[in-house]
Structure 1
Amino acid sequence: MKKMQNKSNQGSEWSLGNRIKRNKASYVMLAPYFILFFFFTVLPVLTSTALSFTNFNVLEPPKFIFWENYIRLFLNDDIFKIALKNTLVFAVITGPISYFMCLVFAWIINEFKGKTRAFLTLIFYAPSISGNAYIVWNLILKGDRFGYLNGLLLKWDFIQSAVIWMKTEKYVLPMLIIVQLWLSLGTGFLTFIAGLQTVDKTLYEAAAVDGIKNRWQELWYITLPSMKPQLMFGAVMQITQAFAVSDISIQLAGNPSVNYAGTTIVTHLLDYGSIRYEMGYASAIAVILFLLMIGTNKLIQNVLRKVGN
């Protein structure tokens, strides 16, 4: 019996070796991506996980302290609790809304043809790549009567005096959410546009014969199932954006923001990693963020598998 198992193991190894030899060109072509992925994604994640169990200030060798960083994070760091709450609010609100915005706008724009579709795609995509986005929103949210938002509200008598939007605690998070939604039509949006254009048109004709009666049924039973890879990729991108919010908070509300109203996990991480140089503690924050992203991605994948069923 053992001899048979050994022979089967040798056979599987031999067949694997044969497969590698037969597809040598494919492995060679994959090698550059794999090397870059390993050194710039896998290795940093493993290194960060290892450092999260140490006290490391960059200048001295890491000292192993086991769970102390995580105990400090959850039991003694009140700012992290605020950052975690803000990040979850961002993710719960901006994640699903921006995802459906990307899908709906892509679906509508896909109905146009040629240059009109290309122009509309550019218009919707431009804010996500514009380097002047924060300059525009700083002008809109300026805390005096010369700010565009204050100017309009004063003109229409909705307010009696100018509001310092990004220095008033109750307004900081809602304003950041609005700006994030405005910037959210990015890579996921382009992915949906591309996915919609690859759907086989003959499927719609076959569906009409089978009893599909309206565009909503076409969308649910034909369009969305045909672009599941794009839906999955778009979900990953939107989740990453929702959990990795930092730039808009720093640019508009400052770091730290008033009473930490705009603090997120990433801004908290940057505080300890880039300013205080407590790299072990910053790595622990990064690990928690990584686990949140992984868990949310798994949940979304399970939901998207039911699309069209």
Structure 2
Amino acid sequence: MTKLVLLALVGLGAQLVDGSLGMAYGVTSTTLLLAIGTSPAAASATVHLAEIGTTLVAGLSHWRFGNVDWKVVLKIGVPGAVGAFAGATFLSGLSTDTAAPLMSIILLLLGLYVFVRFTVAGLPKADLGKPLRKRFLAPLGLVGGFVDATGGGGWGPVGTPAILASGRLEPRKTIGSIDASEFLVAIAASLGFLFGIGGEGVNATWALALLLGGIIAAPIAAWLVRHIPPRVLGSAVGGIIILTNMRTLLRSDWIDAPDTTRYAVYTVIYVIWAAALAYSIQQYRLHRDEDRQIIAAAAA
């Protein structure tokens, strides 16, 4: 019972972060399942099974608060489902340890770009409101779905920073659209795992506990993201991308940094992140009316 309560709390916390920042549900939940001895394929399959419910509720909640661009959802979600099914079917039994550091470098660079762009320059203005092309979203969806299925998480970390970096979609709609499209990815990945490994190692009770926690958090996160200023939200998302992927790199076989080095790096990142958030809040207050006019014009 204690383990189930813990899983439900993890699901709640992971969905609260995911629904607010557009990433981290899969990574957080999968990490916990691996820590208690679940195999990588079974952990990913269990999490994706839970995500069918959490992403449905999250997508509906974001839609209710006006955070979803349905054109973006279809353009990225359908290719994402294809990539997720392929990754779950053909690579569910393989380790992604070798590919993880390389992917982390790419995501780290994207995170740095998002972090600096939003913190220093604020809400990107030049391209806001311009359509996101299928030739950009389709490959992004394929890669994101593939990484998500094989790594137990990755749809948000791949899709959210890439779309934010384009400067064409405001942060709350980026997060809402990524969360809504993840429903298609979760279904496709679950079908792929069912085809690839059947029900072996998949714990339906654990999936239900994760699901219940996520369902509670989804509407709260969708409401929260609508009220966080875009500049602050961009800085927050960029910071968590940097921290998450730096952690992966420092713990990988490529670097294998000792604990003292890792903790020192984390401390520096936290200090810079806190300072950046404080600066973003200050600048948002100074330019509040201007940012609201830009967002209203882009939505018109």
Same fold per superposition (TM over 0.5): no
Is the radius of gyration larger for structure 1 or structure 2?
Answer: 1
| Bucket of the pairwise TM-score, normalised by the shorter protein | under 0.3
Length-normalised TM-score, structure 2 = 0.27
Larger RCO of the pair (alpha carbons < 8 Å, separation 6+):
2
More helix by share: 2
